[in-house]
Structure 1
Amino acid sequence: MTDRVTGAYYEDSTVQQGPTLPGVETGDDEDRIVLHVDLDCFYAACERLREPKLAGKPLVVGMGYEGGQPDGAVATASYEAREHGVESAQAISTALERLPRAADHPDGIEAESDGPDAVGYYRPVDMAYYQEIAAEIKEILHNCAETVREVSIDEAYLDVTDRTEWSVVEGYARHVKQRIDREVGLTASVGVAPTMHAAKVASDHDKPDGLVVVEPGDVEAFLAPLPIDDLHGIGPVTASTLREHGIETVADLADADREWVHEQWGDRGLELYERARGIDPRSVEPRGRPKSLSRESSLGGAEDDFDAVEQRIRTLAEAVAERARSKEALYRTIGIKVVTPPFDVNTRAQSLPGPVDDPDLVETVAIDLLEEFEDATPRKVGVRVSNLSFADADQSTLGGWDGDSTATDPDDREAVEPAEVGTDASADSSMDSPADSPMESPPESPLGSPGDSPTESTLDSSAESTLDSSAESPAASSTGSHTESPGAPSTTSFTTQSTESPDTPPTESPNTSSAGPPDESSTESPDDGQPGQSVLDRVWSDGPAERADPEPIGQPPDQTTLSEFE
């Protein structure tokens, strides 16, 4: 394995945490191991990837903001900007009063970042670029867990019960964090617990770049001393209502009379009451069906041997076609992805007359599309099938389809030129990207009257969509490029030692060799959102990403740096 920061080669075993276990079978809900992964200041962190000079500077990302104008609202603010009173959902005009724009300062980027003369750096939301980064992280998460529930563009739940056990779970969680850091260049706060709710609260407990482990039997004790508004699902309005009744902490709610809680606030109050007592029967379940399936592989640097690139494409085409068949999926579009130095993402796709299940055709089309890049030196390639259908529809026959048919006319081929960061360059963007959605999360609804029954879109609109306005919403996807920047993670753990991660987040480096079988992974791109789904539950929440076959318990997944087709 090649470290993306130093370029040094090391064996996979050096990044494993704890022993490699033969497997642990668990059937009791108390034995469930749930990780909640929450990316730190995601929008701001993405901006720092492509502008490393912004590292450590107060940074504000604005929705509806245009350079030099006081319009729009704060989508997210870096921790440095928050120290100056800048908050999510705040008007840009207010943020500018508290943190003047560096561009208005004669010294520009060299201006003060601390003290009364501090200035900040303002950038507009670039959702296409953020989705590109999110896709890379999503692939890592699906490679690290059998079941992933994608909640929003910057957070997800992982059920890792079949991958590890409690005695070594801290190491496994740290491994997930280190993969995100090394392969993408971002930090994440991770909470580990036997329930989804406790895992979410744990991830919020030590930000940024934290790792908190709450073991079975410790959940109620962990929650008890927390302020009542730390209970996930309780926002300012609900917290104020509870405090009016003398409920200041989670323990106060847990100790309250159950019938009284029900009389006061109905079924929703009862669910909060159960969570305060450490009870959360929900299981981690993915949403929706994929819209595309892909396999990608790094080539060990800029590969100038076209035959080697072609062979890798053939291998990936076979793998993705097999995956589609295993899911009984038909596809109408076949595409390839070619990443060339430094990080130019090129995609090409071919639409077919109808949905098919034809592995030979996948290979034929992929090789045909690859010919355009015969003189290129790719560092990573991939194959994708998209425009999927899963119903028991009749398979279309292509009749006399061949490489010379009208279907391959250049004018009919979906071609995507190398994309600049933040541009929508996807051949299938309308098909593969989730619907646009506003920045705001749904307003919190106060505790209901007796008889109210909470649903995931009400109670969990706060519980899974992050009621605080710092939650970030997705938009259309794209291809593009990004660079990665240094940072300085500092981590702690509730029940274990503090996490350790490199002082310098990674820049991508190739895998060790282009020879041998590809270090491939796969991705499913999800369908659009579902009725009743929170506006924040798009990119991360709409369906499972394709994941590799299970690794043994305690065995960290493959370290390949991969990203989803956009």
Structure 2
Amino acid sequence: MADEARLPGVETESDEDPIVLHVDADCFYAACERLREPELRGEPVVVGMGYEPGDSVGAVATASYEAREFGVESAMAISQALENLPRRVDADSDSDLDVSETGVYRPVDMAYYESVSEDVRSILHESADVVREVSIDEAYLDVTERTDWSVAEGFARHVKERIAREVGVTVSIGVAPSMSAAKIASDFDKPDGLTVVEPDEVRSFLGPLDVDEIHGVGPVTARTLREMGLETAGDVADADPDALVEAFGERGRELYDYSRGADDRPVTPRGLPKSFSRESAFGSPVAAWERKRETLHTLAEAVADRATREGALYRTVGVKAVTPPYDVNTRERSLSGPVDDPGLVVEIATDLFREFDEDRVRKLGVKVANLEFDAANQSNLDGWGDATEPGNTNGAGSDGDGVDNPLDVSGGKPATDSSRTTPDPSPDDTGETSDAAGDTLPADQRTLDALVEGGTRSADRSPTSPSSRTAVVNAGDGSTDVVVPLSAFDGDGASVDAGPDRRDANRSAGTGPITSVRRHPDQTTLSEFVGN
């Protein structure tokens, strides 16, 4: 490593304990709102997911610390939040409202938050050799080659001060020799905190913590641990690991290791997530269908929006219902192909949740899974007819403690990875129309240029409107299909000319054979254009 990449005057040893920073922005969405409205500093601020000004629907994505003093919490329904903390604007027309007991509500503005997050990420990448971006407001940094344990606190403080000075938001940082310990350390002194746990301090730092503070432990696992007589991380660390494995499977060994600070996972740039989900907990079990449906729709729209922003198509839609005492129920439905269709997510989630119409629900969630990351992410199921099939209806699901990478709205902070990584472009793409009919290449190497003469159009898929009708172009060599709108099939013998941002075509053959499929210059491989 170049000398200038290290903190001046610091020598590093290759066999020393890693130095890991966990950087977590404080109430990030609310902090962003205060950046553009400085007058909100010190005021209770609530950012609502699925919320519009003047409405009472949606869920709390972030509540500032001032708002939390009034009992407003992340994942709370906006209607309940308004009972605890009325809108400031309503005080102008209601003389009974005390302005000092009101707050400011704002809808989520992800485009703006992403722009602020990019400024933070830039500083993080300048400060470390390896950065694992976990979400819009959270990341792990491996700075082992940049600093030394003797000055690690000063290094982390420098990162904090740069972010505060150059971006204008505060972050809390945990420094430890492992990812799990660093994560716990960053939560230890919020907001605007800095906690350093050196290698020989990890066991003593973790020991007194409640079991629900162990990395990866959620309410259900915490309850089971307490039923086993294990109240603290120290209790888990001293427990029989075989008993933990018996209770939790192989995850029990992980809990045992994390409680002792044994976590040798390296900080690596994250891969693509397998699913996106949103969950919302009620203050007490809710039976009213309207309230459950309102929350369900908000979560479904948020999940679908997240998938769209990440450039992901999904093949599975699922819901989760946690009923008293803490029974976790999951239901899923598989689709006939990968889609990006927010309306369909709401429709399927609502249908799946009908089973719990009469049940009291503590917590509910919506997810999309079996993801495919595609640069042309505008596919939907309009016109595909009844494209859904019954999926998992097996009752109780998993513990729910981070399984399937849930995107928990707590603190406006997804609990899973949220990288916007996209597939690497193929170096062979040229943008030219192929003349070699019937080219046969491995599916992951073929470009759209390989989809040539000999392909045919499949039967129409129950079109619903001219603008949304779709069909499938089958490659002559049996390769994966390309979905295009039927509106493109208005001529004879023309090519399918793929646009840069959509699965569409300017023109193509009517009912005759496809003469060629030409890749737009901005596209890369066939896999970016086609669902497997």
Choose which of 310, 326, 334 in structure 2 pairs with 1:434: 310
* SS in structure 2 at match of 1:123: strand
The C-alpha deviation readout for 1:47-88, integer Å capped at 9, x for no partner, is 000011110001100001010010101011000001101011
Cα drift, residue 165 of structure 1: 0.1
Choose which of 206, 231, 241 in structure 1 pairs with 2:189: 206
More strand by share: 2
Is 1:537 the equivalent of 2:417? yes
Q: What residue in structure 1 maps to residue 61 of structure 2? A: 75
2: CA distance between counterparts of 1:79 and 1:441?
Answer: 30
The 1:172–1:129 alpha-carbon spacing in structure 2 relative to 1, beyond 3 Å, is same
Cα drift, residue 43 of structure 1: 0.4
Q: What residue in structure 1 maps to residue 156 of structure 2? A: 173
* SS in structure 1 at match of 2:411: coil
The C-alpha deviation readout for 1:426-456, integer Å capped at 9, x for no partner, is xxxx999523799x99999999xxxxxxxxx
Q: What residue in structure 1 maps to residue 470 of structure 2? A: none
Is 1:286 the equivalent of 2:269? yes
* SS in structure 2 at match of 1:149: strand
**Superposed counterparts of 1:401-550, under 5 Å:** 434-435=310-311, 461=402, 469-473=410-414, 536-539=416-419
Cα drift, residue 146 of structure 1: 0.1
Q: What residue in structure 2 maps to residue 91 of structure 1? A: 77
Is 1:49 the equivalent of 2:32? no
Is 1:251 the equivalent of 2:251? no
**Superposed counterparts of 1:252-331, under 5 Å:** 252-288=235-271
Choose which of 12, 27, 32 in structure 1 pairs with 2:15: 27
The C-alpha deviation readout for 1:6-30, integer Å capped at 9, x for no partner, is xxxxxxxxxxxx97225313234xx
1: CA distance between counterparts of 2:404 and 2:307?
Answer: 29
The C-alpha deviation readout for 1:499-527, integer Å capped at 9, x for no partner, is xxxxxxxxxxxxxxxxxxxxxxxxxxxxx
* SS in structure 2 at match of 1:150: strand
The 1:543–1:464 alpha-carbon spacing in structure 2 relative to 1, beyond 3 Å, is farther
State whether residues 152 and 465 of structure 1, in contact with CA within 8 Å, keep that contact through their aligned partners in structure 2.
no
1: CA distance between counterparts of 2:404 and 2:175?
Answer: 16
**Superposed counterparts of 1:128-139, under 5 Å:** 128-139=111-122
Letter in 1 for 2:73: E
1: CA distance between counterparts of 2:210 and 2:174?
Answer: 18
The 1:100–1:441 alpha-carbon spacing in structure 2 relative to 1, beyond 3 Å, is farther
The C-alpha deviation readout for 1:430-488, integer Å capped at 9, x for no partner, is 999523799x99999999xxxxxxxxx99983798785722435xxxxxxxxxxxxxxx
Choose which of 91, 99, 102 in structure 2 pairs with 1:105: 91
* SS in structure 1 at match of 2:185: helix
Cα drift, residue 287 of structure 1: 2.6
The 1:101–1:22 alpha-carbon spacing in structure 2 relative to 1, beyond 3 Å, is closer
State whether residues 88 and 104 of structure 2, in contact with CA within 8 Å, keep that contact through their aligned partners in structure 1.
yes
TM-score by length of 2: 0.53
* SS in structure 2 at match of 1:76: strand
The 1:155–1:181 alpha-carbon spacing in structure 2 relative to 1, beyond 3 Å, is same
Q: What residue in structure 2 maps to residue 503 of structure 1? A: none
Is 1:160 the equivalent of 2:150? no
The 1:446–1:247 alpha-carbon spacing in structure 2 relative to 1, beyond 3 Å, is farther
Cα drift, residue 107 of structure 1: 8.4
1: CA distance between counterparts of 2:249 and 2:63?
Answer: 37
1: CA distance between counterparts of 2:247 and 2:402?
Answer: 21
State whether residues 21 and 176 of structure 2, in contact with CA within 8 Å, keep that contact through their aligned partners in structure 1.
yes
- Please give the root-mean-square deviation of Cα atoms over the aligned residues, in Å: 3.6
TM-score by length of 1: 0.50
State whether residues 70 and 85 of structure 2, in contact with CA within 8 Å, keep that contact through their aligned partners in structure 1.
yes
The 1:216–1:227 alpha-carbon spacing in structure 2 relative to 1, beyond 3 Å, is same
2: CA distance between counterparts of 1:146 and 1:180?
Answer: 18
State whether residues 56 and 80 of structure 1, in contact with CA within 8 Å, keep that contact through their aligned partners in structure 2.
yes
Letter in 2 for 1:27: D
The 1:181–1:288 alpha-carbon spacing in structure 2 relative to 1, beyond 3 Å, is same
1: CA distance between counterparts of 2:233 and 2:87?
Answer: 40
**Superposed counterparts of 1:218-237, under 5 Å:** 218-237=201-220
Letter in 1 for 2:77: A
The 1:446–1:79 alpha-carbon spacing in structure 2 relative to 1, beyond 3 Å, is same
Q: What residue in structure 1 maps to residue 50 of structure 2? A: 64
**Superposed counterparts of 1:342-361, under 5 Å:** none
Letter in 2 for 1:434: E
Letter in 2 for 1:25: E
The 1:84–1:435 alpha-carbon spacing in structure 2 relative to 1, beyond 3 Å, is farther
Instruction: Report how many aligned residue pairs link the two structures.
Output: 310
Letter in 2 for 1:200: K
The 1:20–1:464 alpha-carbon spacing in structure 2 relative to 1, beyond 3 Å, is farther
The 1:233–1:462 alpha-carbon spacing in structure 2 relative to 1, beyond 3 Å, is farther
The 1:41–1:60 alpha-carbon spacing in structure 2 relative to 1, beyond 3 Å, is same
Structure possessing the higher radius of gyration over alpha carbons: 2
The C-alpha deviation readout for 1:113-163, integer Å capped at 9, x for no partner, is 65xxx0010000000000000011011000000000000111000000000
Cα drift, residue 251 of structure 1: 0.7
* SS in structure 2 at match of 1:461: coil
1: CA distance between counterparts of 2:198 and 2:327?
Answer: 31
1: CA distance between counterparts of 2:201 and 2:152?
Answer: 15
The 1:542–1:280 alpha-carbon spacing in structure 2 relative to 1, beyond 3 Å, is farther
* SS in structure 2 at match of 1:47: helix
The C-alpha deviation readout for 1:344-380, integer Å capped at 9, x for no partner, is xxxxxxxxxxxxxxxxxxxxxxxxxxxxxxxxxxxxx
The 1:260–1:203 alpha-carbon spacing in structure 2 relative to 1, beyond 3 Å, is same
State whether residues 288 and 542 of structure 1, in contact with CA within 8 Å, keep that contact through their aligned partners in structure 2.
no
Letter in 2 for 1:20: P
The 1:165–1:94 alpha-carbon spacing in structure 2 relative to 1, beyond 3 Å, is same
Q: What residue in structure 2 maps to residue 182 of structure 1? A: 165
Is 1:216 the equivalent of 2:185? no
The 1:205–1:160 alpha-carbon spacing in structure 2 relative to 1, beyond 3 Å, is same
Cα drift, residue 192 of structure 1: 0.1
Cα drift, residue 265 of structure 1: 1.4
1: CA distance between counterparts of 2:69 and 2:411?
Answer: 15
State whether residues 62 and 72 of structure 1, in contact with CA within 8 Å, keep that contact through their aligned partners in structure 2.
yes
2: CA distance between counterparts of 1:435 and 1:149?
Answer: 19
State whether residues 217 and 401 of structure 2, in contact with CA within 8 Å, keep that contact through their aligned partners in structure 1.
no
Cα drift, residue 217 of structure 1: 1.3
